[in-house]
Every structure is written in structure tokens, then in C-alpha cells.
């Protein structure tokens, strides 16, 4: 699915592949401790096995085939996994709608990655997936996330 990818000034947004296991494992190990209630800290080694990674990839592929959930990895220019973006709960009918989700790992906050990644997934949603509406799935008290969505013209 070559169309489900974007390169921005700082980022490469794309589907995770089996060859990304080490980058995925490292990213999930080196996160800082959770910085707020919407954040999570690093994972334990037993949660980061190659088998669990492969099962996750299989699930992601099944959800893409079902046109229900598109989860994309966000890599920076150095090739480090810095977060993920997603289009979820795709509904196709009279209107084609979905929810938008995004996460930048806490050790990469405040570097502009969130804004670039979200802009890219919005572009993918409208151009590649032909959606009519994207709604950001934000907890109402998450002021920073709301600010990011508003800075991109969402309301």
C-alpha cells in the first residue's frame, strides 16, 4: 500500500514492516516515565517480543483490509520511531467518516513532530482513503491535543 505513506520535512509516515522490529522495540523501551495522565512510559521487555510485534502487524494488516483502521508509524529523519498516527473506526455510507488518533512518544515532544504527522495523516485520510470527515478523538481535558488539532484548522 504505497499510497499510505507520506514524507514531510522531518518525518516518514508509513505502515510498520517486519524489518522495523528493532526500531519499535527501542522506541518502546526508551520512553521517559509518563508525563501526564494521557501519556504512558516505557514498556517492559516481555511486552516487546518479536512474536508480539508480528501479531500486532498481522492485526494491523487485517484491519486495513477490512477498511476499518489504519495505523501508521512515524519515523524521524534519523530513522527513529517517534510515534504513530491512525485513522480509526472508518464508516462508509452516505458519508465516509473516521476518527483521527495521534501519539508522539514523550521523549520527542515539542519538536514539531505532532503537527507534521497529524497534517500528513489528514492528507492520507482525505486524498488516499477518500474520507469526507475526520474527527479527532481527544479527551476533552487534553488541552495540548486540542491545541494541536485547532492549529491545523480543526474545530
Phi/psi zone of residue 83: left (φ > 0), alpha (ψ -120 to 50 degrees), beta? left
How far is residue 79's CA from residue 40's CA, in Å, rounded to a whole number?
A: 22
How much is the pLDDT for 41?
A: 66
How much is the pLDDT for 150?
A: 92
Burial 53-83 (b: 16+ CB within 10 A, else e): beeebeebeebbeeeebbbbbbbbeeeebbb
How much is the pLDDT for 34?
A: 59
How far is residue 74's CA from residue 82's CA, in Å, rounded to a whole number?
A: 6
Tens-place pLDDT, residues 37-51 = 666 766 677 788 999
How much is the pLDDT for 107?
A: 86
Q: Is the pLDDT of residue 104 over 60?
A: yes
Percentage of residues in the chain with pLDDT exceeding 90? 69
How far is residue 83's CA from residue 116's CA, in Å, rounded to a whole number?
A: 12
How much is the pLDDT for 12?
A: 96
How much is the pLDDT for 49?
A: 93
Q: Is the pLDDT of residue 70 over 80?
A: yes
Amino acid at each position: 500500500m504505497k499510497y499510505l505513506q507520506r514524507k514531510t520535512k522531518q518525518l516518514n509516515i508509513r505502515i510498520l514492516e517486519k524489518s522495523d522490529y528493532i526500531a519499535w522495540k527501542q522506541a518502546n523501551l526508551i520512553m521517559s516515565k509518563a508525563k501526564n495522565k494521557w501519556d504512558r512510559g516505557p514498556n517492559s521487555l516481555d511486552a516487546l517480543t518479536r512474536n508480539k510485534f508480528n501479531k500486532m502487524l498481522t492485526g494491523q494488516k487485517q484491519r486495513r483490509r477490512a477498511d476499518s483502521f489504519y495505523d501508521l508509524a512515524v519515523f524521524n529523519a534519523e530513522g527513529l520511531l517517534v510515534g504513530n498516527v491512525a485513522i480509526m473506526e472508518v464508516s462508509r455510507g452516505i458519508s465516509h467518516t473516521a476518527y483521527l488518533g495521534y501519539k508522539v512518544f514523550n521523549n520527542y515532544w515539542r519538536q514539531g513532530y505532532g503537527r507534521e504527522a497529524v497534517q500528513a495523516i489528514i492528507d492520507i485520510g482525505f486524498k488516499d482513503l477518500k474520507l469526507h470527515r475526520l474527527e479527532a478523538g481527544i479527551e476533552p481535558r487534553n488541552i495540548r491535543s486540542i491545541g494541536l488539532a485547532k492549529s491545523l484548522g480543526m474545530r
